[in-house]
Amino acid sequence: MDFSTATTTAGNGYSSPRDSSFPSSFTKFNSALTAGLLNPMSPPPPPAMLDKTRSSPTLFEMMASEADTIGKVPVQIHNGVLPSPSSSSSSSSAAATAARTTNVAHLVISAQDKQALAMQRISDLLVIRSPGNQFNDPNSSDVKLTLSSKDGISITMCVHRQILVAHSRFFAMKLSDRWSKQQLPPSSSPYIVEISDCDDVEVYIETLMLMYCRDLRKKMMRQDVSRVLGILKVSAAIGFDAGVLSCLEYLEAAPWSEDEEYRIASLLSELHLENVGATEVLRRVSVEASNGSNGGSNDEVLLNLLHIVLEGKDEKARRDMKTLVSKMLRENSSGNDLRKESLYVACDGCLHNLKRQFLQAAESDLENVDQIARQADNLHWILDILIDRQIAEDFIVMWASLSELSEVHSKVPVVHRFEISRVTARIFVGIGKGQILTPKEVRCLLLRNWLTPFYDDFGWMRRASKGLDRYLIEDGLSNTILTLPLAWQQEFFLAWFDRFLNSNEDCPNIQRGFEVWWRRAFWRRKEQSQEPARLRVTASATDNS
């Protein structure tokens, strides 16, 4: 802010808007065309004809003229009174401009219109005050303060040196006794103080008005978060400590929108107000600001959330919360909030329950058989999280090693067991897309233990699972087999070929992968056998001596 002083009252001169016209041939041609004097397909008439068309401006001219004069007319308020239309030629010109743009007001809101609205609000703000409040009282004031902004707004108001000095370190320095003695004004003339380049004159005025208010908290309750942030910025700039504290108290208690939350955190970080209460405000959005704790507790909180979802009773609520938690974890993909070990602790718990219930069902104990589908669904959800975070390799090793379950798989009714094959299908898709990278031995073990159970459940899984993408799973299985050595590929593709011919509807169609294997195994082998033997030329060193 630029701070300057003078010993005489500022003048009331206004700058006039420059005359905006468009004498170009294009504008005149547009006028004639709008008036219906020209055929759109005919060439432009001579300038003499264009001058005689009509004097009233077209819509294009009004909008262009308005755009040219935006921001060019400075507006001043003295003691809360807007300049009258007859006070100067500039006011008449401004009124004429307003009348001229009435027809296009619904099309565009100009910067000048916004400025006029702001001036009206400022005028109301300066005129209306509670009884006994001396703000902008010309009879008792001893300082005339002029605020001006970059967009041409200039306001002069009457304030009191004693109040400014008592509440603001900025004004205490500028209006010190030494400075006052140097001014030596006449007893009847107030000091003239000017502050230029204000970001928001209206907010600056509201901040000064708070210095005259006895109950700042009550006054703040009438504001919104956006306005309080503006007041906080001005209060911090002029050293108005009571205003800063009142703004921080308001922000600590008031609700915020997501956009306001970002603006609050950004402004408090910019102003460095940690020693005057900003930390209390930031505790709402920062773990570090709460009780001095670090981010290590995030892992415990998220792990607790996982267990609550995994053990929930209401199935619909569980599905909704799984979607929500997955979305939140996906948005924070850094992985620092939830450790790999914590996820695998939850995974081990689900896997243990699944093994116990599955083995009981295999022995015809169907008391809690519904837990098989529930725990398989939980594992499917955790697997999605592990794949998103690129830490699913250990899960594949554990799943591929569950031979004790795959061996008794056929003993459990398919209606209870098919959810397990959905986990296997998700693994196939992950490997097929390159989302999971494991050694070929693990991939082969996975197929040996779980491919036949997967074939057995595929028909039921396809009919019972809503939203199942059959083609995605088939491509994943094909690509998983094709990642193996060629001899292992032959084993799995030939077994599929035999099964597909005997149960077409209940077997996945991996014909594309089969064709790739066939070309690899036979075409290239044939090409290699037809290649002519390469001539190898060897040179031996001979001693000619």
Nearest to 250 by CA among 230, 270, 266, 269: 230
Token couple for 126: 């300066």
Burial (CB count within 10 angstroms: exposed 0-12, middle 13-18, buried 19+), residue 185: middle
SS3 state at 154: strand
Instruction: For residue 453, count other CB atoms closer than 10 A to its CB.
Output: 21
For residue 156, what is the enclosing H or E element? strand 153-159
Report CA-CA distances (Å) from 428 to 340, 346, 399, 415, 437: 22, 22, 12, 22, 11
pLDDT at position 526 is: 56
Tell me phi and psi for residue 175, to 5 degrees.
-105, 40
pLDDT at position 524 is: 64
Per-residue pLDDT of the chain (545 residues; tens, 9 = 90+): 554 544 333 333 333 333 444 444 444 444 544 444 444 444 544 444 444 444 555 655 555 555 444 444 455 566 555 555 444 444 444 444 444 444 444 435 566 777 788 788 888 878 776 666 788 888 888 889 999 988 888 889 899 999 999 999 999 988 876 566 656 555 557 788 888 888 889 999 999 999 998 888 888 888 899 999 999 999 999 999 999 999 999 999 889 988 899 999 899 989 988 777 788 888 887 755 555 444 446 778 888 888 999 998 888 999 999 999 888 888 776 655 678 888 999 999 999 999 999 999 999 888 889 999 999 999 999 999 999 989 999 999 999 999 999 999 999 999 999 999 999 999 999 999 999 999 999 999 999 999 999 999 999 998 887 888 999 999 999 999 999 999 999 999 999 999 999 876 789 999 999 999 999 988 765 555 555 545 444 444 444 44
Cα torsion 422, 428, 434, 440 to 10°: value is 140
- Cα separation of 545 and 537, whole Å? 24
- Cα separation of 475 and 519, whole Å? 17
- Cα separation of 542 and 544, whole Å? 6
Report CA-CA distances (Å) from 354 to 357, 397, 419: 5, 17, 11
Token couple for 95: 């009124």
123-156 residue pLDDT tens: 887 877 666 678 888 888 888 999 998 888 888 9
Would you say the pTM of this structure is higher than 0.85? no
By DSSP bridging, strand 2-6 and strand 153-159 are unpaired
- Cα separation of 81 and 78, whole Å? 6
In the numeric block, the tokens 């001006």 are attached to 148
Helices (H), 149-190: 161-167, 169-174, 177-183
- Cα separation of 220 and 527, whole Å? 85
Q: At what angle do helices 511-518 and 470-482 cross, to 10 degrees?
A: 20
Amino acid at 484: L
Nearest to 3 by CA among 224, 285, 266, 191: 191
Q: What's the chain's Rg over C-alpha atoms? A: 40
pLDDT at position 400 is: 96
Tell me phi and psi for residue 255, to 5 degrees.
-75, 150
Helices (H), 187-257: 201-210, 216-220, 225-238, 241-253
Token couple for 39: 């055929």
Token couple for 62: 């009004």
Token couple for 224: 């919104």
Report CA-CA distances (Å) from 472 to 221, 330, 428: 57, 22, 9
Would you say the C-alpha torsion 300, 301, 306, 310 has a positive or negative sign? positive
Name 64's Cβ contacts closer than 8 Å, sequence gap at least 6: 20, 22, 27
- Cα separation of 184 and 30, whole Å? 62
Report CA-CA distances (Å) from 399 to 96, 354, 407, 421: 81, 12, 13, 11
In the numeric block, the tokens 């003239």 are attached to 192
Cα torsion 489, 492, 498, 501 to 10°: value is -80
